[in-house]
Amino acid sequence: MTTEDRNPSIDPAENNAFFPSPYSLSQYTAPKTDFDGVIAKDAYKGDKKVLVIGTEERYMLMQNGKFFSTGNHPVESLLPMHHILEAGFEIEVATLTGAPVKFEWWAFPHEDEAVTSAWAKLEEQMKAPKRLADIELNDDYLGVLIPGGHGAMLNLPESKDVQAVLDWALNNDKLMISLCHGPAAFLAAGYERESNPLAGYKMCVFPDSLDAGANIEIGYLPGKMPWALGEALKAQGIEIVNDTMSGATHRDRNLLTGDSPLASNALGKMAVEALLEKVA
């Protein structure tokens, strides 16, 4: 198997399941990120927290019957969290049922000190997170972070518990931070409702055009996804401000978003700036 191989790699843990192809990983992953230092080391001395909602789902069933072996993207998860932790804020991790957070471990940058540092601090929580419904939402929390990875498209968009968190954030001046495919969770705000309270907001997300085109062509995905993220968000009145993957970030009021793993570092810095505003 060479890095020119564009065939999705077999995941032997599940029938007809696949990891991204060697070629796609050579294009989309690296041993280090673009981390270039924190902007506010130990700037905060209090005990305020950011709630992280991770996915406990591993397998996305594609339209052709194949499974994509996914989860949360480690860079999109841990690099923003590193910035938040280094600034002095706490992280509390939850999943819908309290099952462990699933990661796309094939994208873990093992030579990156920032990401590995965050993993060392949060590994225990990631493996034994709280059950989201058990979280008592109060002023101890400054906001919520929903990491990316295709796994965020599984169950979170139809969760009443995620809906409750988003309602709380919107009604209590709290931050909502996400990137790449993580904004799928924002669909929960409109779940079984006539409208989504986030309608009219602008955000960055991973482009549908890449998931429907290049990601299949290079073997990152083993087939066409069950639904298109950007299309679903637009249908609920949310405006997507990017159409490419460039590392772009965007802030609209308390909503902070990024377009891909390339935005992880910049989004982490933006999150710290916004968190420090909240405690100023």
Catalytic residue list: 180
What is the spatial order of strands in the sheet that 9-10 belongs to?
9-10, 17-19, 67-69, 59-61
The answer to whether 58 and 71 are in contact (CB under 8 A) is yes
Q: How far apart are CA 173 and CA 176, in angstroms?
A: 10
Q: How many residues make up the chain in this entry?
A: 280
Alpha-carbon dihedral of residues 166, 169, 174, 175, nearest 10 degrees?
Answer: 10
What secondary structure does DSSP assign to the chain, as a single string? --TT--SPEE-TTSTTEEEPPHHHHHHH--SS------SSTT---S--EEEEE-----EEEPTTSPEEE--B-HHHHHHHHHHHHHTT-EEEEEESSSPPPPB-GGG--TT-HHHHHHHHHHHHHHHSPEEGGG---STTEEEEEE--SGGGGSSGGG-HHHHHHHHHHHHTT-EEEEETTGGGGGGGGGTTSSS-TTTT-EE----HHHHHTHHHHTTSSSS--SS-HHHHHHHTTPEE--SS-S--EEEETTEEEESSGGGHHHHHHHHHHHHHHHH-
